[in-house]
Structure 1
Amino acid sequence: MKDIIDGVLKFQRDAYPQRSELFQRLATHQNPSTLFIACSDSRVVPELLTQREPGDLFVIRNAGNIVPAHGSQAGGVSATVEYAVAGLGVTDIVVCGHSDCGAMTAVATCKCLDHMPAVAGWLRHADAARAVNEGHAHSSVRDRVDGMVRENVIAQLANIKTHPSVARAIEQGKLTLHGWIYDIATGRIDALDSAGKRFQPLADHSQVAPASRPLAQAA
């Protein structure tokens, strides 16, 4: 904990003064353009990956970068999605999976989670992705896990579209969805194409079509 406290003091001493004007502007309002949904994994830092400043991203982080489909019981993720879209008016949503994801490894390898029943219940929201992934041939355990990471991003994009605020914003041409996968070892990010089937390197296809775009922009 001492390292954390020392970091806070360093922030107050060094980092805050360098951005004092920015923090003064942010003191009474926020206007993020993007909702970034990522895993809680300590190795995944959305603001670092995207090189964004405070106030630029509205962030949801949880085990497996999961978005439960809209239902009668609204949870924290659903409420945060609704606020980002209907309250803050974000124009883009990124669902970002990552390599070596513990949550997706557990799902892909059918790891026993009897000692973590809450985690097991949460990961049921990835059942559709697991079913699709199990229908594919895999050459190794790593390939199976990587496939699960990809299918989970696709499945969570499908889930988020069931939320009324998201469906309405997409229909009105106000919101675009993106599916990304971050490779921890290389820093590479792959983006899902508009057909929702293939992930392409963002570095080679910086204009890669979003996974879901406003109808007003559709070709």
Structure 2
Amino acid sequence: MQHIIEGFLNFQKEIFPHQKELFRSLASSQNPKALFISCSDSRLVPELVTQQEPGQLFVIRNAGNIVPSFGPEPGGVSATIEYAVVALGVSDIVICGHSNCGAMKAIASCQCLDPMPAVAHWLRYSDAAKAVVEKKSYSSEDEKVNAMVQENVIAQLNNIKTHPSVAVGLRNSTLRLHGWVYDIESGVIRALEKNSQQFVSLSENPEVYFE
């Protein structure tokens, strides 16, 4: 814990003074352009990977970058999506998975999650991705996990379209959806291309988006 406190003290002393005007402008309002939904994994830091300053990303992080379909009992994810789209008026939503995802590995390997019933329940929102992956054969466990990561991004993109605020934004062409997979070792991001349903290099296809 001490190194976290020391990090804050360094921020307060060395970083904050150089960005004082930025934080002053953010003190009373925010105007992010994108909602970024990613895994809680400590190795993926959305603001670092996308090089965004405070105030530029509205972020949801949870195990497996999961978006439950809209239902009668909205939870934190549903409420945050609705707030981002309706109140903040974000124009883009990114759902970003990553390599070596523990949640997707647990699903792909049918890991026993009895000691973690809340996690087991949460990962049921990836059942569509699991069903697709289970219908195919893979040469290795790593290949299966990678497929699960990609299919999960696709499944969550489909889930988010059931949210009324998102459906309206897509219908009115005021909102775009993006599906990304970040590779931790190489730093490469692959983005889902709508027509081909394939993940392509984002650096080589910077204009690509899902919908």
Q: How does the TM-score come out when normalised to structure 2?
A: 0.99
Residue 141 of structure 2 corresponds to residue 141 of structure 1: yes
Q: Supply the AA of the counterpart residue of 2:123.
A: L
Q: Could you give the per-residue CA deviations for residues 176-203 of structure 1, whole angstroms, max 9, x where no partner exists?
A: 0000000000000000002261000111
Structure 1 regions of 5+ residues with no counterpart?
213-219
Q: Distance in 2 between matches of 1:140 and 1:125?
A: 24
Q: 1:26 maps to what in 2?
A: 26
Equivalent runs, 1:84-103 vs 2, <5 Å: 84-103=84-103
Aligned length: 211
Q: Supply the AA of the counterpart residue of 2:126.
A: A
Q: Distance in 2 between matches of 1:35 and 1:190?
A: 18
Q: Distance in 2 between matches of 1:14 and 1:39?
A: 29
Q: Distance in 2 between matches of 1:190 and 1:206?
A: 10
Q: Distance in 1 between matches of 2:91 and 2:2?
A: 39
Identity %: 60
Q: 2:121 maps to what in 1?
A: 121
Question: Following superposition, which runs of at least 4 residues in structure 1 exceed 3 angstroms of deviation?
Answer: none
Q: Could you give the per-residue CA deviations for residues 40-84 of structure 1, whole angstroms, max 9, x where no partner exists?
A: 000000000000000000000000000000011100000000000
1:207 CA displacement: 2.2
Q: 2:210 maps to what in 1?
A: 211
SS state at 2:93 partner: strand
SS state at 1:165 partner: helix
Residue 15 of structure 2 corresponds to residue 15 of structure 1: yes
Q: Distance in 1 between matches of 2:196 and 2:134?
A: 18
The answer on whether the counterparts of 1:196 and 1:211 sit within 8 Å (CA) in structure 2 is no
Q: Distance in 2 between matches of 1:106 and 1:195?
A: 30
Q: Could you give the per-residue CA deviations for residues 124-152 of structure 1, whole angstroms, max 9, x where no partner exists?
A: 00000000111122111000000000000
Residue 66 of structure 2 corresponds to residue 66 of structure 1: yes
Q: Could you give the per-residue CA deviations for residues 77-114 of structure 1, whole angstroms, max 9, x where no partner exists?
A: 00000000011000000000000000000001100000
The answer on whether the counterparts of 1:99 and 1:183 sit within 8 Å (CA) in structure 2 is yes
SS state at 2:60 partner: strand
Q: Could you give the per-residue CA deviations for residues 19-60 of structure 1, whole angstroms, max 9, x where no partner exists?
A: 100000000000000000000000000000000000000000
Structure 2 regions of 5+ residues with no counterpart?
none
